[in-house]
Amino acid sequence: MTRLIKVAAIQTAYGLDLDANIKKTADFIRQAADQGAQVVLPSELFQGPYFCVTQEEHWFATAHPWREHPCVTALAPLAAELGIVLPISIYEREGPHYFNSVVMIDADGSPMGVYRKSHIPDGPGYQEKYYFRPGDTGFRVWDTRFGKVGVGICWDQWYPEAARAMALMGAEVLFYPTAIGSEPHDETLDTAAPWRRAMQGHAVSNVIPVVGANRTGFEPWADYPGGGQRFYGSSFIADHRGDLVAEFGKDEEGVLTAQFDLDFLTTHRAAWGFFRDRRTDLYGALAGPRPA
């Protein structure tokens, strides 16, 4: 029997109200499920606005232990009701430590575990090192009801090493929840196209579909009236060739879906020989902080 997987990405805007954000996400999840989606990806930190634009200590109070996070406790039952898999992006607190994390919920509503964002950016408008520790889980691949899926979070998506590691671990589809848009220090800088191309490259080099879900819309900075950030959407689903099979522009809200034949991809991946022809004896420079 052919193994098929239908995936979905949600693109939407979010505000300050946690309950409203969860409800909005749940409505889009239902819409995706109605279209036959089996794994549905919301964007990064959909619990509220993307708060990492500045350094304000009150945001630490919005983190929760991952099993108790309101997004998890609200949406895990929905995953069970609809029989779908949900990678849920959260702000996680573990004791005195804080992480940008994804909780994987299987199609019966059970939590399969947590992945903590490995690469933490720090720059104008994306001051994440103030809020998050580098992840300590390593990369994760989950054997869900519908296939083996790997998840990286936003800045992770720029690193080919992360995609390759998940592919080597057996991932059959890669998912990247994202919050990215305007660069406050340079109004002329638009990274939407290279953002897509970086992940399309992961798809080609690993012969694997890639799903990127970004938020959209303008978010005024809650702590600094008059400032704000515009997220550029451009969510997409790419096939194993890196071709875009579903995509949004910068401003739409909605759901993207695409279906893939996992058995075909397994054979096609083997035929390309990317994994057969790897030369790990030459890759020592990748494992150190800098080349010798």
The set of catalytic residues is 44, 117, 154
Give CA–CA dist 139/261, Å, rounded.
Answer: 24
Token pair listed for 248:
């949004």
Give CA–CA dist 49/230, Å, rounded.
Answer: 11
Question: How distant is the alpha carbon of residue 187 from its chain centre?
Answer: 25
Q: How far is CA 128 from CA 40, 53, 69, 154, 199, in A?
A: 25, 8, 20, 11, 21
Coil vs helix vs strand at 43: coil
Instruction: Compute how many other C-beta atoms are within 10 angstroms of the C-beta atom of residue 16.
Output: 12
Token pair listed for 45:
């930190």
The conformation of residue 249, written as its DSSP 8-state character, comes to -
Coil vs helix vs strand at 176: strand
Give the side-chain half-sphere CA count within 13 A for 199.
31
The string over 120-153, giving b where at least 16 C-beta atoms fall within 10 Å of a residue's C-beta and e elsewhere, is bbeeebbbbeebbbebeeebbbbebebbbbbbbb
- H-assigned helices in 104-186: 160-168
The burial class, CB within 10 Å (0-12 / 13-18 / 19+), for 228 is: middle
